[in-house]
Structure 1
Amino acid sequence: MQIELRFFANFREAVGQKTVHREYETDLQAGDVLRQLSEEFTEMDLFEDGELREYLTILRNGRDIAHLDGLETPLEDGDELSVFPPVAGG
């Protein structure tokens, strides 16, 4: 199955592009993709002590995975996974 990965702010810089299309096997969860990205692009620093870092926003097709099944959110062919770093400002 194919997943579109979208990166924002400094994560886009770490990956070197805004959008990446990747092929994966079926029975995939958001956490599987995020762990792979964390290993491939270590400067993204997505996890701390095995848990997704606080204040990251991960969207599956525009919906925050925190309001779905978290890292266990299932992914399907054609899904879009967007990865946002923490945002500061005021």
Structure 2
Amino acid sequence: MEPTIVISVLAGLIVIFLLVGAPLKPLRFIGQGVVKLLIGALLLFFLNVIGNQFGIHIPINFVTSAVSGFLGIPGLFALVAIDSWII
């Protein structure tokens, strides 16, 4: 095979891989964000079930799920502190 054909085929494959791989990265970040929101909602659900005995209730909505999902347990404690002392 001639070198120009080999280089052309390799360049074509690189372009195809770039075009196919480019849209997948934003979808991966969106998917990770949705999973974190669901984990946050699940954490809030269990907090409300267990915290019901102590008078703790945090509403489950987009903002509270985002805080508890992206920040984890410290975010959950921050929501409880905000609910207890500020609101």
The answer to which structure has the higher strand fraction is: 1
Greater relative contact order structure (CA < 8 Å, 6+ sep): 1
Do both share a fold (TM > 0.5)? no
Structure with bigger gyration radius = 2
**TM-score, with normalisation over the residues of structure 1?**
0.29
